[in-house]
Chains A and B, each alone.
Chain A
Amino acid sequence: MPECQHQWKMTNIEFGFIVFEKCSHCADLRTYFSPDDTWDEYKEGDCTWSIVENAQTFRFDLQCTECNHLEKFNDLMGLLFCTGCLEDCEVELLRKKYEAEKTWLLVAFGFLPQSKTNPIPAYKLEILSDHFNQRRDTSRSRIIIVPFNLIKDISLCRGEFIHDVGMLSLEPPEERKPLF
């Protein structure tokens, strides 16, 4: 039997928030998904975690409409759109290469700190790319999703996160700060 040409569809969509927490003690950053927009500050050992940003996002899984195969994406924090901020960043080099083929580059982020040691596997990124390409008119352009460890220096990255930041603010949105 030939292998299924998966046709992906989003399922188990859950809207919520990505909470960015920073510890004033060790200056570490960690992120997690929360269905509520919490703004609590708490202590954990020596660390005091306070929330720096609270962006709206959603969680989903992908399921093949043909064979019902389910791929969980609860480890995906979000996608970042490469804007080509750093000349020698590997993402930028790839981006330049693909731009001629009208292929746009997106970077997949996992939650911190788990993804540092346990990155999102490459096959899942391929599924994710497939899914978005299946939804678009690929004769015009395609997208490709790459892992975030290609980014040269995250602290300098000016890529655009596809997250809703500041939507809850009752003030008009100002220029948003980079998340890292």
Chain B
Amino acid sequence: MNTKDVMEKIGLQALNKFEPREVDGVFVSDMLSDVMAGAKSGNLWVTVQTHKSIVPAANLVDVSAVVITSGKEVPAETIEMATKHDIAILSTDLPIFELVGKLYGLGLVSK
């Protein structure tokens, strides 16, 4: 399953253009330090953080996409930076807990 499939199945909104990438597990955290320590290449990173510093963190661990939950407005500079560094930013109105339920429903497990 790639990022585009996940996006379509759950009804996520894409905030920038991206090349679909294989999704390998999910990582949920709002803490950059947590992501640095725990997320793996190909993970879908789910967070409410919208500050542009999520981009370097996402880049560092090479996640397949960042999903911003709770319908948070994402600053333009975050999106701009993400696009520049080839990081897909998706968005949903669901809070983290509900989104996780749906992702699990797709058969995604944490890796």
Contacts and interface: CB of A to CB of B under 8 A. Distances in A.
Asked if A and B touch directly (CB within 8 angstroms), the answer is yes
Interface of A: 10, 13, 15, 56-58, 60, 79, 81, 83, 104, 106, 132, 135-137, 140-141, 143, 160-164, 167, 173, 176
What range describes how many residues of B lie at the interface? 20 to 34
B51 interface: yes
Interface centre among A13, A81, A132, A143 (most CB of B within 10 A): A81
B41 interface: yes
Interface stretch (B29-37, B88-96, B101-109): B29-37
Interface of B: 30-34, 36-37, 40-42, 51-53, 55-57, 59-62, 81, 85-86
Nearest to A133: B62
A143 to B, nearest CB: 6
Contacts of B51: 173, 176
Nearest to B24: A137
What is the predominant secondary structure among interface residues of chain A facing chain B? strand
B36 A58 contact: yes
A161 B60 contact: no
A129 to B, nearest CB: 11
19 contacts: A13-B37, A15-B34, A56-B33, A57-B33, A81-B53, A106-B56, A106-B60, A135-B41, A135-B61, A137-B62, A141-B86, A160-B53, A160-B55, A162-B33, A162-B36, A162-B60, A164-B31, A167-B30, A167-B31
Interface centre among B33, B34, B61, B62 (most CB of A within 10 A): B33
